[in-house]
């Protein structure tokens, strides 16, 4: 069985090596999961938008859906990290600890087996030595007996020699008997130890090695299961991430994106109007008779502006190029009447207003960008940014002004709240001088009032610009409608009105430029709805609350917090019955809700 002990030694060593091999496999899988999660996070970070101003944030549903997918992918990467962490803690770490314990236990069992084998070998050597000694003494005794018998049968031998040989025989026989007894004792002892070794000690050691190997197999089975459980635990969360990606894909709305593009690039400009007909034959009508070239009468006159204007552009004059007429001041009328030699009147078209407008377009400073630049979306780069956003198209200017007005209103609300808090604090200081000096609040109160006046002026100014923009848009719409009507009138009947001009000085200002009274700004901040509670507090000390705006409380009373301390030492609170007021912050123990803090 000695060779079987060596085989068991090799088998247990193979089991430990296999355990460490699987631990190495788990470690490499953990590294793969960690690298995968890291690469996913880097990918998300690469394609996530940088912190951009509010105006540049993407609002398209396709962009929002993509960013939601990136967030879900980031959560998915987090779950891969959870898998790696779970495998490292539950599988790899457990395997390494168990491998160390297994090596220690195996070493101990093998040492016990070797000690038992060494003890058995020692017993065998003692038995063998006693056997050999017994054999040697027996041969010596046989020699002594033969010598004694020879001398006893020899007649020439003396009595002394015979007696000496007899004594030698007795001595050797006695020693042989003693070695025989010792050999028998050693043999019996060896047989007992050998039986104990092969039937008790070695089977027990083998059983311990077997139990150790079975525990190793069970541990591997548990690690296999833990390896799969680490993956299975995150499957519900990963499924939610995938469902979030699907919902993000379903949230894409092409119509909304198209509307956002329209709202973003809507300029408010109107398409250019029709070019008026330029009658270059009026000088001819004044010099020739009715029998030659004539024009149709007013009642039957119908002009095709598209074909006529196209022919007029390429027309050759009798004496070369047409001389440029002088540009008189623009008159409100666009039609003149003249008489033919037979006394009949007919309408003639004046070219001076058209020439003036065309020269103004060619030489004047452009007030609006070209439609090509609008198409490319470059209208914001036509000039430096101005305070009134006059460099922007009307619709974009209106949106920017409205945004600025909203921001200013929010700032004014903050300043108003701060002013009210300072006034309440000043009243408290005046009635309770031990709490503070009322005069120390006057500079801050003055600064707050100044800021409020400045903000009201800014709001008033921006609302004036907004009214101007809205008035221009309305005026352009009215003029466009009137121009369309007058254009039809000029083709069918005489009308001195209806001329359209794009000069900003002649645009009609609507009544929208009238501004509201400053008291209306104060009315905008009044809110009858109760403020939501953002936490609760417990009164540490009692407070009388005699001053207006304060709230009396008793020690230990529980109140709702509806407004945090803004640095003035007062917190706005509410009772259960709805009564509100300010209490000293130092008199209460405040607990704010996490979800409502800073709302």
SS3 sequence, 509-574?
CCHHHCCCCCHHHHHHCCCCCCCCCCEEEEECCCECCCCCCECCECCCCEEEEEECCCCCCEEEEE
456: Cα within 13 Å, side-chain hemisphere: 19
> Pick from 295, 288, 290, 422: which is nearest to 349 by CA?
295
pLDDT for the residue 229: 94
pLDDT digits (tens, 9 = 90+) for 6-20: 888 999 999 999 999
> How many angstroms separate the CA atoms of 177 and 138, rounded?
8
Q: What is the mean pLDDT of residues 113-119?
A: 91
Nearest-10 Cα torsion for 208, 213, 216, 218: -90
pLDDT for the residue 521: 40
Residues in a beta bridge with 582: 550, 572
pLDDT for the residue 18: 95
Tokens 């026989």, residue? 173
pLDDT digits (tens, 9 = 90+) for 216-261: 999 999 999 999 999 999 999 999 999 999 999 999 999 998 988 8
Length of the chain: 599
> How many angstroms separate the CA atoms of 114 and 508, rounded?
115
Q: At 593, phi and psi to the nearest 5?
A: -75, 140
pLDDT digits (tens, 9 = 90+) for 47-73: 987 765 554 555 789 989 999 999 999
pLDDT reading at 500 higher than 70: no
pLDDT reading at 589 higher than 60: yes
Q: Best-predicted range by mean pLDDT among 93-97, 457-461, 479-483?
A: 93-97
The mean-pLDDT minimum among 24-38, 200-214, 276-290, 417-431 falls in 276-290
Q: What is the mean pLDDT of residues 300-316?
A: 40
Higher pLDDT, 433 or 187: 187
């Amino acid at each position: 069985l000695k060779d079987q002990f060596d085989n068991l030694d090799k088998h247990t060593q193979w089991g430990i090596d296999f355990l460490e091999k699987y631990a190495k496999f788990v470690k490499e899988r953990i590294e793969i999961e960690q690298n995968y999660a890291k690469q996913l996070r880097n990918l998300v970070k690469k394609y996530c938008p940088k912190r951009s101003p509010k105006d540049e944030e993407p609002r398209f549903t396709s962009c929002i859906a993509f960013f939601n997918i990136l967030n879900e992918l980031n959560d998915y990467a987090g779950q891969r990290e959870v898998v790696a962490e779970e495998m490292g803690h539950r599988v790899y770490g457990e395997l390494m600890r168990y491998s160390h314990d297994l090596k220690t236990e195996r070493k101990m069992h093998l040492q016990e087996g070797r000690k038992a084998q060494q003890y058995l070998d020692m017993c065998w050597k003692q038995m063998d030595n006693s056997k050999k000694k017994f054999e040697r003494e027996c041969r010596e005794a046989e020699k002594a007996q033969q010598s004694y018998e020879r001398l006893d049968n020899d007649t020439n031998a003396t009595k002394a020699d015979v007696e000496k040989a007899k004594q030698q025989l007795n001595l050797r026989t006695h020693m042989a008997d003693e070695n025989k007894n010792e050999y028998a004792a050693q043999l019996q002892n060896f047989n007992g130890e050998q039986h104990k070794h092969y039937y008790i000690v070695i089977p027990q050691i083998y059983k311990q090695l077997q139990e150790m190997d079975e525990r190793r197999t069970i541990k591997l089975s548990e690690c296999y299961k833990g390896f799969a459980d680490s993956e299975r635990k995150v499957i519900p969360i990963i499924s939610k991430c995938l469902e979030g990606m699907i919902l993000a894909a379903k949230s894409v709305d092409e119509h909304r994106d198209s509307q956002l593009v329209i709202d973003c690039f809507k300029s408010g400009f109107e398409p250019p109007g029709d070019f008026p007909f330029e009658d270059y034959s009026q000088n001819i009508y004044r010099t020739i008779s009715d029998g030659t070239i004539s024009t149709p009468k007013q009642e039957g006159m119908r002009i095709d502006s598209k074909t006529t204007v196209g022919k007029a552009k390429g027309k050759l004059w009798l004496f070369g190029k047409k001389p440029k007429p002088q540009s008189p001041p623009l008159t409100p009328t666009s039609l003149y009447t003249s008489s033919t030699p037979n006394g009949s009147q007919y309408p003639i078209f004046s070219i001076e207003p058209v020439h003036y407008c065309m020269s103004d377009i060619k030489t004047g400073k452009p007030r609006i960008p070209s439609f090509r630049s609008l198409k490319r979306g470059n209208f914001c780069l036509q000039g430096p940014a101005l305070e009134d956003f006059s460099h922007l198209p009307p619709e974009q200017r209106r949106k920017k002004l409205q945004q600025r007005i909203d921001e200013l209103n929010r700032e004014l609300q903050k300043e108003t709240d701060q002013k009210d808090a300072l006034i309440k604090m000043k009243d408290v200081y005046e009635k309770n001088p031990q709490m503070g000096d009322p005069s120390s609040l006057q500079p801050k109160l003055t600064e707050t009032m100044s800021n409020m006046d400045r903000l009201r002026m800014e709001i008033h100014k921006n609302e004036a610009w907004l009214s101007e923009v809205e008035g221009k848009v309305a005026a352009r719409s009215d003029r466009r409608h009137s121009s369309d009507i007058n254009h039809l009138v000029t083709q069918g009947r005489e009308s001195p009105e209806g001329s359209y001009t794009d000069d900003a000085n002649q645009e009609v200002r609507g009544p929208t430029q009238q501004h509201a009274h400053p008291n209306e700004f104060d009315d905008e901040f009044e809110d009858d709805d109760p403020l939501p509670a953002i936490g609760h507090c417990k009164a540490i000390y009692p407070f009388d609350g005699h001053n207006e705006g304060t709230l009396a409380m008793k020690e230990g009373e529980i109140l709702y917090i509806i407004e945090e301390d803004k640095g003035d030492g007062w917190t706005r609170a509410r009772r259960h019955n709805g009564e509100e007021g300010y209490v000293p912050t130092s008199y209460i123990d405040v607990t704010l809700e996490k979800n409502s803090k800073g709302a």
